[in-house]
Chains A and B, each alone.
Chain A
Amino acid sequence: MNHLSQQQHMRWMKVRLFTNQLSKVIFMLSAFFGLFVLAVLLYRVVSEGIGSINFSFLTGKLSTQPERAGIMGAILGTLWLMLVVAPVTMFVGVGTAIYLEMYAKKGRLVSFIQTNISNLAGVPSIVYGILGLTVFVRTLNLGNVVLAGGLTMSLLILPIVIVASQEAIRSIPFHLSEASYGLGATKWQTIQRVILPSALPGILTGAILSLSRAIGETAPLVVIGIPALLIPFPGSIMDRFTVLPMQIYYWTLDASLVAEYANLAAATIIVLLVTLFILNSTAIIIRNKFGKVE
Chain B
Amino acid sequence: MKFNKFLLFMIIATFAVVLAACRTDAGEENGSKKNNASAKVSADLKGSVVIDGSGTVYPLMARLAEEYMVNEQENVSVEVSRAGTSAGFKKFLVDNGTDFNDASRQIKDEEAAEADKLGIEVKELKVALDGLTFVINKDNDWATEMTPEQLISIFLADGTVEKWSDINPDWPNEKINAMGPNENHGTYEFFYEKILDKQDMKSTVNLQQEYSTLVNLVSEDKNGIAFFGFGYYVNNGDKLQAVAVDFGNGAVEPALDTIAEDGAYADFTRPVFTYLNVNHAKEKPQVKDFAIYVMNNINKFAGETGFAPIPENEAKENISFLEGLK
Contact = CB atoms under 8 A, between A and B. Distances in A.
Contacts of B83: 225
A116 interface: no
Interface in A267-294: 286, 289-290
Nearest to A234: B26
- Among A83, A255, A257, chain B packs the most CB atoms within 10 A around the CB of A257
Task: Determine chain A's interface SS by DSSP, over half rule.
Answer: loop
B79 interface: yes
B212 interface: yes
A171 interface: no
A229 B48 CA distance: 13
Contacts of A72: 22
A225 B96 CA distance: 15
Nearest to A87: B12
A233 B26 contact: yes
Interface in B1-57: 1, 3-4, 7-8, 15, 18-19, 22-23, 25-27, 29-30, 48, 50
B65 A232 contact: no
Contacts of A76: 18-19, 22
B286 to A, nearest CB: 13
Interface residues of A, number: 36
B15 A232 contact: no
B30 A236 contact: yes
A233 B63 CA distance: 18
Contacts of A257: 59, 231-232, 235
- Among A64, A233, A290, chain B packs the most CB atoms within 10 A around the CB of A64
A197 B1 CA distance: 7
Given A64-B59, A64-B66, A235-B27, A80 B19 contact: yes
A204 to B, nearest CB: 8
Given A232-B77, A235-B26, A64 B15 contact: no
B79 A79 contact: no
Contact of B215 (A80, A256, A286): A256
Contacts of B27: 235-236
B47 to A, nearest CB: 11
B325 to A, nearest CB: 25
Contacts of A220: none
16 contacts: A64-B59, A65-B66, A79-B18, A197-B1, A228-B81, A229-B79, A232-B29, A232-B77, A235-B23, A235-B30, A239-B26, A239-B29, A255-B212, A256-B211, A256-B235, A290-B4
List 4 A-B pairs, minimum CB-CB distance, nearest first.
A235-B26, A256-B212, A227-B79, A229-B80
Interface of A: 63-65, 72, 76, 79-80, 82-83, 141, 197, 200-201, 204, 225-236, 238-240, 255-258, 286, 289-290
